Structure 1
Amino acid sequence: MALQRRNNNPRFNRQQEPEHRINDRIRVPEVRLVGDNVETGIYSIGKAREIAEGLGLDLVEISPNAAPPVCRIVEYKKFLYEKKRKEKEMKANAKQSEVKEVRFTPGTDDHDFDFKAKHAIKFLQDGNKVKAYVQFKGRAIMFKDRGELLLLKFAEKLSEYGALEGMPKMEGKRMLVMFAPKTSKKSASKEKEKEKEAK
C-alpha cells in the first residue's frame, strides 16, 4: 500500500523519467537526424541508432513534436550539461527589469533636467526601463509643445544608453515616453570608440 502511494507521487515519477527519450526509448519508425558528425536527413530509427552506436554516442530526441521527431547524435551527459549551462546563463541575463519613472513639469529648469537625466542613465545601465513624463496641471496643458520638446531633448540625452520606444504621447494630463536599456556590450564598444577618437 505504501509503495503504491509513493508511485502516485508526481515528484517520484518525475525523477524516474529521463528528461529526453534516448536510444532504445525512442519508439518511432523514422527520425530527422541532426548533429556535427552526421549528414542531416530522415533515417529509419534502426539506421539512426546504428549511426549513433558507430560513433560511440547517444541518439537523443530533441524535438518530439516535430514530424518526424528530431534527434541529435551526441554524448547525452555532455548534452545535458551544456543545456543546463545555457539555461543558467539565460536566467542570469534575464534579470527582472523594473520600470523606473522620471517626472518633469513644463517649466523644469536645466539643473533639474540634468539631475534627472543622470538618474535615468543609471536606471538604464542597471537594465531597467525608464518612463519619463511631463505632468500638466491646470492651464499648463496649453504648453503641450513645450512638454514634447523637453521629452525629445531628454531622449537625445539618453540616446547612448536607452532606445526610445515611441514618440511622446498624451495619457490624461501627462505626456510620456518609454526607454528600453541598450545592451551593455554596445555601450562598452561605443565608449572604446570614443576613447580611440580622443587619443
Structure 2
Amino acid sequence: MADEVGLDLVEIAPEANPPVCKIMDFGKYKYEVAQKAREARQNQTHIVVKEVRLTPKIETHDYVTKRNQVEKFLKGGDKVKVTMKFRGREQTRPEMGYKLLQRLAEDVAEFAFVEFAPKQEGRNMTMVLGPTKKKTEAVAEAKAARKAKADAAAETTDGA
C-alpha cells in the first residue's frame, strides 16, 4: 500500500502484538524533527560567567571602573565571578577583602543578587553574583533600545 501511494512504511511500535506501522513520508518527518530541535536550540540561553579581579588596595577610581564593568555584565544577563587576589602580607587581612566584596555587592544590588557569598580559597577570595534579569529579557531590552536609537537617528536625518 505504501509503494502504491509513493510513501514509506514506518514501524512505530515493534514490541506491540501485532506490530504497529504507519504509512508516511519518512524524509519529511526527519526534516520536521530536525527543524523542531534546531528551534529549541535557538531558544536556549547560554549562561556565561564573566570574571572580574580585584585587590584589597584598589584605588577609588579603579574600583568604580570595575563596578561599572560588573554592572555591564549583569545588565547583559551574565553571571559575574568576582575574585579578590591577596598578595604578600595582604593575606593576613582577609577581612579587608571581605568588606570590599560586600561593598561591591551592595553597590550592584539593584542588578544582582549574591549567588555564592565570599569564600577564601588559598590566596583568592571569590564571590559569584547572579543577574536579577534573565538573559532573554536583557537581550530583548538591548534590542529594543538599539531599535529606538536607530529610529531616533533616522528621524533626525529625515528632518535635516
Please indicate, yes or no, whether the TM-score normalized by the shorter chain is above 0.5.
yes
User: SS where residue 165 of structure 1 aligns?
Assistant: strand
Matches within 5 A, 1:80-95: 84=36, 88=39, 91-95=41-45
Distance of 2:113 and 2:105 partners within structure 1: 8
Unaligned runs of 5+ in 2: 1-7, 17-31, 142-160
State which of 103, 113, 124 in structure 2 corresponds to 1:153. Answer: 103
User: SS where residue 166 of structure 1 aligns?
Assistant: strand
Unaligned runs of 5+ in 1: 1-14, 29-79, 189-199
| Aligned partners of 1:106 and 1:143 also within 8 Å | no
Deviates more, 1:120-129 or 1:99-108: 120-129
Q: How far 1:94 moved relative to its partner?
A: 2.9
Distance of 1:178 and 1:17 partners within structure 2: 51
Distance of 1:17 and 1:125 partners within structure 2: 50
User: SS where residue 139 of structure 1 aligns?
Assistant: helix
Q: How far 1:157 moved relative to its partner?
A: 1.4
User: SS where residue 177 of structure 1 aligns?
Assistant: strand
RMSD value over aligned CA atoms? 3.3
Higher relative contact order (CA 8 A, sep 6+): 2
Distance of 1:144 and 1:17 partners within structure 2: 67
Q: Which amino acid aligns with 1:148?
A: Y
Query: For residues 27-77 of structure 1, what are the alpha-carbon distances to aligned partners after superposition, in whole Å with 9 as ceiling and x for unaligned?
Result: 98xxxxxxxxxxxxxxxxxxxxxxxxxxxxxxxxxxxxxxxxxxxxxxxxx
Distance of 1:120 and 1:17 partners within structure 2: 55
